[in-house]
A and B are shown apart, each in its own frame.
Chain A
Amino acid sequence: MSTEQAANTGVQAGTPAWRWPAAGVLVVLLLAAATRFLEKGVPTWFAGSGLAKAIEFPVYAIVLGLLGNAVLTATGLRDRLAGGFRTEFFIKTGLVLLGASINLKVIVTAAGPAIIQGIVLISTVFLFTWWLGGRLGLDDKLRALLSAAVSICGVSAAIAAAGAVQARREQLAYSASLVIAFALPSIFILPALASALGLSPEVAGAWIGGNIDTTAAVTAAGTIVGEDALAIATIVKVTQNALIGVVVVALTAWFAFRVERRADAARPGLGELWRRFPKFVLGFVSASVIATWYLTTVPAAQGKAVIGVANDLRTWFLILAFVSIGLEFRVASLKEAGWRPVGVFAAATVVNVLVALGLAALLFSGYTVE
């Protein structure tokens, strides 16, 4: 929260600091309940209409979030309530619970191709974006941010890269807004393209996971395609998330020793790798281990019912995250930095889409989720 925002909150007016974030969480919960109501109600109300049945909950959640955003912005309440829009927490808790519905064997067998896809895709897209940014004369730090954001995983990669290259705040804000502006439409466009191209759920999932920049948007698009696609998209995405540390360490060293040539720069070590590692990945894998073990100890029907409860809770957390995405969405002042960074990001996104499609088809075409 910025100083200006803090000044606008109720702290000054004597309202306890926790009330506004708590009210924000309440808004998210109410919109999530409305999403669940629409998700269950619309197919019944419009029985026979294929379209109503085809609309998955991320669509309702994001649209309701955006509507809520417009209302709260118009009434001046949005910034005060923003402390309750915990997209990161909701999505990560949802993904930990998602681990319970993925057999450990799937994670283990999909991890190999996911790592290969991650390394090839990140290297290709990062170097392309870096090269194009250089050709168009972008500042080295902005090049590094945009390259990390478009090749790895959006905002969190941009934040990590900004720390590594000591970028300016406005460069980070700008990169983050580009990520969101491109991720939101891709939630709907990629599943539609995957369907039009006739991709298998596994290939579609690997494509979505490798290509869409933010984890929440990957989950939303994967959900729209289906359960198997969601599983593979998540595995591919968390693999890329886990590779952030490697890129950050490489960037830190590159900028310290080659770009800025600082003699006093310390060599980044293993501690930095661990610090940048997304810890929820451990929760995701642990949940899979626990559930896989649990299912060997109970009858199949009982196991299915119990994991079904975890799936219902997971859906709730994902809805909370998608509603928060809608509520958090901000239109950035993209004009300030001019058209060139937008051009670089758009071109890099196209390359990302194509390379990710090729790699997904190559690495996951023979793969099936059991």
Chain B
Amino acid sequence: MSEVEPPTSGESRTALNEDWAATIVGLVLLVLIITGVIPTGLVP
């Protein structure tokens, strides 16, 4: 195992985008579940 890589400004931007990406993916999945597109029993 190696040393921790120092985060760069690029990675900070990635972290910022990941915030929005996680919000969108999470809410879209929730809407798909509520509307029945992802039915009960599908997720193992």
Residues of chain A having any CB pair with chain B under 8 Å:
1-2, 5, 36, 69-70, 73, 79, 86, 88-89, 92-97, 99-100, 155-156, 159, 163, 169-170, 172-174, 176-177, 180, 275, 278-280, 282-283, 286-287, 290-291, 294, 305-306, 308-310, 312-313, 316, 329-333
Contacts and interface: CB of A to CB of B under 8 A. Distances in A.
Interface in B1-32: 1-9, 12, 15-16, 18-27, 29-31
B26 A88 contact: no
13 contacts: A93-B22, A96-B22, A96-B30, A97-B30, A159-B15, A176-B7, A275-B16, A279-B20, A283-B27, A286-B23, A306-B34, A310-B30, A330-B4
Contact of A280 (B2, B23, B44): B23
A326 B20 CA distance: 24
B27 to A, nearest CB: 6
B33 A310 contact: yes
A287 B29 CA distance: 10
Interface centre among B4, B19, B20 (most CB of A within 10 A): B4
Contact of B38 (A278, A287, A305, A309): A309
Nearest to A305: B40
Contacts of A316: 43
A180 B4 contact: yes
Contact of A169 (B1, B6, B43): B6
Given A79-B2, A287-B30, A313-B43, 20 more contacts: A86-B18, A89-B18, A92-B26, A95-B22, A100-B30, A173-B4, A173-B6, A177-B4, A280-B22, A283-B27, A286-B27, A290-B27, A290-B30, A291-B30, A306-B40, A309-B39, A310-B29, A329-B1, A331-B2, A332-B4
Interface of B: 1-9, 12, 15-16, 18-27, 29-31, 33-34, 38-40, 42-44
A330 B1 CA distance: 5
Top 10 closest A-B pairs, CB basis?
Answer: A96-B26, A283-B23, A92-B22, A173-B6, A169-B6, A279-B19, A177-B4, A312-B43, A93-B22, A89-B18
Nearest to A4: B5
A175 to B, nearest CB: 9
Contacts of A174: 4
Contacts of B8: 169
B5 A309 contact: no
Contacts of B38: 309, 313
A173 B31 CA distance: 39
A93 B4 contact: no
A86 B39 CA distance: 27
B21 to A, nearest CB: 6
Contact of A330 (B3, B20, B39): B3
A179 B7 CA distance: 14
Contact of A283 (B3, B6, B15, B26): B26
Contacts of B23: 92, 96, 279-280, 282-283, 286
